[in-house]
Chains A and B, each alone.
Chain A
Amino acid sequence: MKEKRENRHPVDLLPGEEALAGFYGRGHGEQPPAHLDEAILAAARREVRAGPRGRQRRKREWLLPTSLAASILLVTGVLLYLEFQPVETAEIVVASAPRPAPDGGGAQEVQQARATPSIVALAEAPAEEEPAGLSLPAKSRMAAPELARRAPEDADPARRTTTPPAYTGSPQAWLEEIQRLVDAGRLHDARRELDTLIARHPDFRPTELRELQERLVNVAPAP
């Protein structure tokens, strides 16, 4: 017994402790109840079984912040791409695209260019058909998906002549563009644009507009 005790506390056995401990040790066999044993051991086994799940849970804790960071990065990257990429493309294309003659003599060239269903056709279109208020840079800043979406319908010559894209500039510039359409003899297009202008800007009623309205009153709007 003494040897065992000294094995336990080779250095710091206190005087008188050995005898007391030997005495105290007898009959002190109180144990936890069986239901506690079962509960604890069952929990231990459950924890082992759930071990990988625990690790997965910790991984899942990282999943949300990581996903958010990745999403933000992706969106930022796409926005930056859209901000800069189309500008370069459109400007390059416009720089190399044929320009119509002021007298309208380049109509054939323009028609050929329009026939090509590409961004090139779209990029040159504003110089030809669109209202003056819609400048090239504004158009060229259009997002690439938007360009791609519009390209097929804009590339259709028949459609382009009858359904020019909706004007988004100021009412006055729009009116001037309608006046140009009238001057060019495209009365049906002018009527349709006029109707659209009036619908969008009901309070915009200058004299020129009323005059145009009277002039086109018998003209059917282009479909």
Chain B
Amino acid sequence: MVANSTLAVRPATPRMETAARIVPPTGGGTPAARGGGGAALFKHPGIQYACGTMDASCSDEQLMLKYRDGDAAAFEILYLRHKGPLFRYLRRQCGNAATCEELFQDVWMKIIQARERYTVQAKFTTYLYHIAHNRLIDFYRRSSKGLPASYDQEPPDMDSLPADDGREPERQAHNEKTLEQLERLVDELPEAQREAFLMREQAGMSLDEIAEATGVNRETAKSRLRYAVAKLRQGMSRLS
């Protein structure tokens, strides 16, 4: 995609609202040589910590470092990238629109208020969803229902699911009704499994990132996601 660039750009995620398209950087040399706020921090291999110009070639971490150093425009790009997936994740997880908006604002306010202390310890997406997950857990605990059992339990045995008929949901006619049915199926997933699925599909997070954001090990994250995928596929097959 940007093979001629010396700056490794984070792969685009299909459902992230990028404010601008990925463009090759205008300058040459290494990211550190091109300068930028927080350029000295090279902690995570594979994450770029500096970008020379304020464009979409900046990784999330670069933008957050720029924001930490006082660049409000960097935050706007970051926000535009992540606001949709995060909002939909919270919307599906808490159900209530007003609560979702409150949680959504809380998460971003935490990011804003912590900006001066920000250092790159993980991918920004992981950092963002870790905050969102914790905020969501607080919300569950404060609610009358308490923390959903799916967070404390192992995912149900995969064998308990009815056999998949092998039909691909992708090949079904995509109409509004089918989408509604899928949304309903997602809503019916246990919270922990649904969370893993949404982090994966909305935020494009890897299993390791999901595990880190939700505070579980990789195997647990994988089990939750596998269960969610299997359940949805089975549901969609049945509906078709």
Interface set of A (CB-CB < 8 Å, partner B): 1, 4-5, 7-9, 11-12, 14, 16-17, 19-33, 36-37, 39-41, 43-45, 47-48, 51, 54-55
CB distance from B67 to the nearest CB of A (A): 7
**Chain B residue, CB-CB nearest to A43:** B112
Residues of B within 8 A of A27 (CB): 174, 176, 179
23 residue pairs A–B, Cβ–Cβ below 8 Å? A4-B14, A5-B14, A9-B200, A9-B207, A11-B206, A12-B206, A14-B225, A16-B164, A16-B230, A20-B236, A26-B174, A27-B176, A28-B179, A30-B88, A31-B17, A31-B87, A32-B83, A32-B104, A33-B101, A36-B101, A44-B75, A48-B71, A55-B116
Across the interface, which residues of B come within 8 angstroms of A21, CB to CB? 200-201
Q: How far is the CA of A8 from the CA of B207 in the complex (A)?
A: 11
Q: A20-B229, A23-B169, A40-B105 are in contact. List 15 more A-B contacts (CB 8 A).
A: A1-B14, A8-B14, A16-B233, A17-B229, A20-B169, A25-B15, A36-B104, A37-B79, A40-B108, A44-B72, A44-B75, A44-B76, A44-B79, A51-B70, A51-B116
Closest to B208 in A: A12
Would you list the 8 A-B pairs with minimal beta carbon distance, nearest first?
Answer: A19-B170, A7-B11, A12-B207, A32-B87, A44-B75, A48-B72, A45-B72, A40-B108
0/1 per residue, B61-79, Cβ < 8 Å to A? 0000001001110011001
| B183-200 vs A, Cβ < 8 Å mask (1 yes, 0 no) | 100100000000000001
State the CA gap A83–B174 with chains docked (Å).
93
Count of chain B residues with Cβ under 8 Å from any Cβ of A? 54
**B109, A28: Cβ atoms closer than 8 Å:** no
